[in-house]
Structure 1
């Protein structure tokens, strides 16, 4: 049993809203608290209390977080924003506690790798995992193919540009230091995969073939593809994974090729939970030394659809 409140930081965004509903369903008697630098009314509706927290790069961030933990008697902290993960990583707080409250994240190696898209590509490639050609704008010269340019760190579709190779040279000065990747052309073959592994649990993954809506997974269907399952297992080994992360890939001429890893819970955490892939609950159980429940995968072809108010989502079988 959980004896005190759970605090979600970065709680006002779509991930916070989805995860708050997952936790409320699973731990009905436990207060769900939120903290965010932009404590919007929309995000606040889904938690019992919302606290203002400085930006992760603010010198006052950690002290403010400690005060919330002490004032509320927080039992567990779940950081959701990548900027927060980077700050916690830099202070050696991944896998540690703040004010006596454990911080729930994936292991430091997975977090550090996933936060840097170039480091992700290099780590996976060194383990024999297929990734698209990539490099740093202004330093590495791309080949003769269409490109994606995006921030080296960050999440979602923020700062993402699609362009032809002939247009690349004109953007070098503007996007210097960003990451370029070879664009994987199969738009209808994009997958988002929840991946979890803990000391007391072998790797589990659930893959959705998805369609994007506003930079998020708007709809999709469950796919059981042994190539993707094997790839997720290889990622867990490459990162010595202890925790829950999100893997994004496309099939490129039939080869599953990873273009990004999010080292945190993703916006599909609510969808997955409704279908029995309860990675947030497994992670909490493992972190608090509670038994991790069994898992029965949902049928292939089960469809998911994000509802208009960006809550956890609906899922139905077809």
Structure 2
């Protein structure tokens, strides 16, 4: 298999985190990064940078296929929801190429937040009530409104009453209303990895958001949450890494979202020893993966840097 790895959306912080991990630990890999523009530092993280159309553009898939062919790409890591949507079903795009994804069932469930809840309900997982905004006003207040697609925690609104609901539905008709569960102080983001042999590992991180991303996180242990993550991973046939977001409540953990990709904590948890990017690459190459034991109460923080380009 070729040692060339294609990373999409290289202008984003998660893609740059993945590229950093690979550059530091796998210098034998040749990294090709793509994005829709060059007004970012993405080219600093890869060996070769290329421009591509937006994922929704009719030319996008043909462009990706041509890059895979021209550069003899051996592995592709789609990094954003629009790119995952455009490249499904993955194996049909280019024969012989390894796609580093969470697997088709997880991706399909995670790309649509209403489908996420339906999939969890089918697995018998307790969920917050969720309904399309077009179906009428919320079941109860307060609740939240968020888009059915996309990622991040920035376009989420607290809905206090009918006036709020009516106003927001006009602006976001394709959104969903969802039960507001627990408190932000008990919000947990869970990195979940399922090996090819079916064994599951979960890393539970109590977190604080900064600008829509995890800025601070502490490792916690919670057996009920761990069992839930394992049930989701097995039930949705996880093939690699996903991110489960939930809140701990008096009634137990309540999942409100699944990210079917590497998440914003990818570099933070890698520094701690939860190296799921490397595990995915190793398994694609036919190597064995051993899960580490991460002790609780370890703390991770996001830091910022800057580079001057002459």
Which residue number in structure 2 is paired with residue 246 of structure 1?
243
Deviation at 1:67, TM superposition (A): 1.9
Tell me, in whole angstroms, the C-alpha distance in 1 between the residues paired with 2:49 and 2:150.
24
Q: What is the alpha-carbon distance in structure 2 between the residues aligned to residue 234 and residue 140 of structure 1?
A: 32
CA distance in 2 between counterparts of 1:275 and 1:156 reads: 23
Structure 1 counterpart of 2:294 = 298
CA deviation after TM superposition for structure 1 residue 308, in Å: 1.4
| Pick aligned residue for 1:181 from 165, 178, 181 | 178
* Structure 1 residues without counterparts, runs of 5 or longer: 312-318
User: Which of 189, 193, 198 pairs up with 1:196?
Assistant: 193
Q: Which residue of 2 aligns with 1:18?
A: 17
Contact 1:70 1:99 survives alignment (8 Å): no
**Residue in 2 that maps onto 1:315:** none
Q: 1:230 aligns with which of 227, 231, 237?
A: 227
Decide whether aligned partners of structure 1 residues 131 and 65 sit closer, same or farther in structure 2, where only a CA change above 3 A counts: same
Name the CA distance, whole Å, in 1 between partners of 2:167 and 2:9: 36
Superposed, 1:252-271 pairs within 5 Å as: 252-271=249-268
1:97 offset after TM fit, Å? 5.4
In the alignment, is the contact (CA less than 8 A) between 1:138 and 1:173 conserved in 2?
no
- What is the Cα deviation at residue 140 of structure 1? 4.0
Matched, 1:275 2:272: yes
Instruction: Report runs of 4+ in structure 1 exceeding 3 Å deviation.
Output: none
State the Cα distance separating 1:165 from its structure 2 match.
2.8
Q: Which residue of 2 aligns with 1:168?
A: 165
Q: Could you give the per-residue CA deviations for residues 221-245 of structure 1, whole angstroms, max 9, x where no partner exists? A: 0011111111101111221222210
2:110 pairs with 1:114 = yes
Q: What is the TM-score when the length of structure 2 is the normalising length?
A: 0.93
- Give, in whole Å, the separation in 2 of the partners of 1:247 and 1:174: 28
Structure-1-length-normalised TM-score: 0.91
Q: What's the RMSD between the two structures over aligned residues?
A: 1.8
Secondary structure, in 3 states, of the residue corresponding to 1:25?
Answer: helix
CA separation in 2, counterparts of 1:310 and 1:22? Answer: 18
Q: CA deviation digits over 1:90-145, x for unaligned, max 9?
A: xx22x455264222212111110010100110110121212111101121432222
- 1:258 counterpart SS class: strand
Q: Deviations over 1:251-306 (max 9, x none)?
A: 122510000000011111111111111111111222232222x1222210000000
